[in-house]
Amino acid sequence: MTSVAERDGKAGTMTRPIPLGKRRDLDWIGIPLIAAVGLAAYWLLPDDLALLTRIAASALFVLSLDLVLGYGGIATLGQAAMFGTGAYAAGIVAVNWNNDPFAMLAVGGLAGGLLALVTGALILHARGLTLLMLTIAVGQIVQEVANKARDWTGGSDGLSGIDPAPVLGMFRFDMFGHTSYLFALAVLVVGLVVARRIVRSPFGLACRGVKEDPLRVSAIGGSPKAYLVVLYAVAGVFAGVAGALTAVTSGIVGLDSAGFSWSAEALVMLVLGGTGRLYGAVIGTAAFMGVHHILAANDPYHWMAFIGLFLIGIVLFLPGGIVSVAERLGGLRRGKEGGA
């Protein structure tokens, strides 16, 4: 159902007249559009609010991966380390000291950012398989620490009993998930605005430069590794906030929030939507989790087969993801070459 709403939304994007040679102008309507579609989903699908909330929080996480991968070219299978750290930090703070949702988000972001900064400085000199292994190892260590520190994290039982205070002291988190969803959507939209600002800043452009050609960046006086470490830390903040958001909205944090498969799933969602486009993260997450919701209800293995075939298909036939289809169609519509 969600994906239908998304498709309608995208159709809207495509039919909008786009000034020649200014394709980037398409960007600014994206965020209001996502907010509008999100609100429409709130009215149209009141029974699926729990799913929609998870989609919003996961989209923020996938967005963090897009910053790292799409703008920095860092192939990682350990982004969930930051997500899990943020979720646990927020959960622990909420259970023990302060359950204000904004404080939880701040703590989560801080924890994720710090972890990313430290580990990024340690591992980002590597490339290829070595880098993949290092990111996996970081994720496994976080998971293992969370598993062993039972007193704080609840170990394999998960951390439960997180009971966030009302948002701004006014909106209680009700059992139907109305507040949860709107809160998650608001955080996602703010995250998108901030991310968009970051990738269009001189820093974001420098990161893209590193992705395209690290040698040239160092030749003109930049330090590729420094850019990547900062980008990794910034994305870590996003992932940490996403984790904290999950803790706020679901009230529970499990070990799998830092696991290898969550990192891999995020990668799948991002590639499904398209890397390096920010909106691809949101669209990919909505499509992935929407279809998952429908298919996995029957048999989780059917879902695995489906997503596996889909991934193979994407790599072979559609390297740009879902968003690139819209761009290609848009390109054809304007009688130009299809979007590359």
- Candidates 104-112, 174-182, 309-317, 331-339 — which segment interacts with another protein by CB under 8 A? 309-317
Where does residue 303 rank: exposed (0-12), middle (13-18), buried (19+ CB within 10 A)? middle
Which phi-psi region, left, alpha or beta, contains residue 87 (left: φ > 0; alpha: ψ -120 to 50)?
Answer: alpha
Q: Closest CB to another protein among 144 and 174? A: 144
Q: Is 114 in the site for another protein (CB under 8 A)?
A: no
- Out of 42, 152, 171, 260, the only residue in the binding site for another protein (CB under 8 A) is 260
In angstroms, give the least distance from the CB of 127 to another protein: 8
Q: Report the 10 Å Cβ neighbour count for 230.
A: 18
Segment interacting with another protein (CB under 8 A) among 56-64, 122-130, 156-164, 283-291: 122-130
Quick one: 104 or 277, whose CB is closer to another protein? Answer: 277
- Does 307 interact with another protein (rule: CB under 8 A)? yes
CA distance 8 to 5: 5
Residue 294 lies near another protein (rule: CB under 8 A): no
Q: What is the DSSP string of 33-102?
A: HHHHHHHHHHHH-GGGHHHHHHHHHHHHHHHHHHHHHHHH----S-THHHHHHHHHHHHHHHHHT---HH
Q: Of 153, 177, 147, 154, which Cα lies nearest the Cα of 164?
A: 177
Choices 16-24, 30-38, 144-152, 233-241; region in contact with another protein by CB under 8 A: 144-152
- What residue type is assigned to position 174 of the chain? D
> By CB under 8 A, is residue 123 in contact with another protein?
yes
CB 121 within 8 Å of CB 107: no
CA distance 232 to 223: 14
Q: Does 261 bind another protein (CB under 8 A)?
A: yes
Q: Which of 90, 129, 125 is CA-nearest to residue 106?
A: 90
Q: How far is the CB of 262 from another protein (least distance, A)?
A: 12
Q: Whose Cβ is closer to another protein: residue 193's or residue 312's?
A: 312
The closest of 25, 58, 27 to 293, measured between CA atoms, is: 58
Residue window 215-254: x/- pattern of binding to another protein, with contact defined by CB under 8 A: ----------------------------------------
Number of residues that bind another protein (CB under 8 A): 43
User: For residues 281 and 62, is the Cβ–Cβ distance under 8 A?
Assistant: yes
Q: What does 199-229 look like in DSSP terms, one character per residue?
A: HHSHHHHHHHHHHH-HHHHHHTT--HHHHHH
Q: Interface with another protein includes 310 (CB under 8 A)?
A: yes
Query: Does 122 help bind another protein (rule: CB under 8 A)?
Result: yes
Q: Which of 34, 66, 37, 94 is nearest to 245 (CA)?
A: 94
Tell me if 133 contacts another protein by CB under 8 A. yes
Among 16, 197, 200, 302, binds another protein (CB under 8 A): 302
Candidates 4, 39, 226, 312: give the one binding another protein (CB under 8 A): 312
Q: Does 126 bind another protein (CB under 8 A)?
A: yes
Question: Which part of the chain contacts another protein (CB under 8 A), choosing from 16-24, 41-49, 198-206, 303-311?
Answer: 303-311
What does residue 40 show for φ and ψ, rounded to 5 degrees?
Answer: -60, -40
CA 327 to chain centre: 21
Q: Under a CB-based contact definition with an 8 Å cutoff, are residues 102 and 165 in contact?
A: no
In the list 128, 169, 202, 221, the residue contacting another protein (rule: CB under 8 A) is 128
- Residue 77 in contact with another protein, rule: CB under 8 A: yes
Nearer to another protein, 125 or 200 (CB): 125
Q: Does 141 bind another protein (CB under 8 A)?
A: yes
Binding site for another protein (CB under 8 A): 69, 75, 77, 122-123, 125-130, 132-134, 136-138, 140-141, 144-145, 148, 260-261, 264, 267-268, 271, 275, 301-302, 304-305, 307-312, 314-316, 319
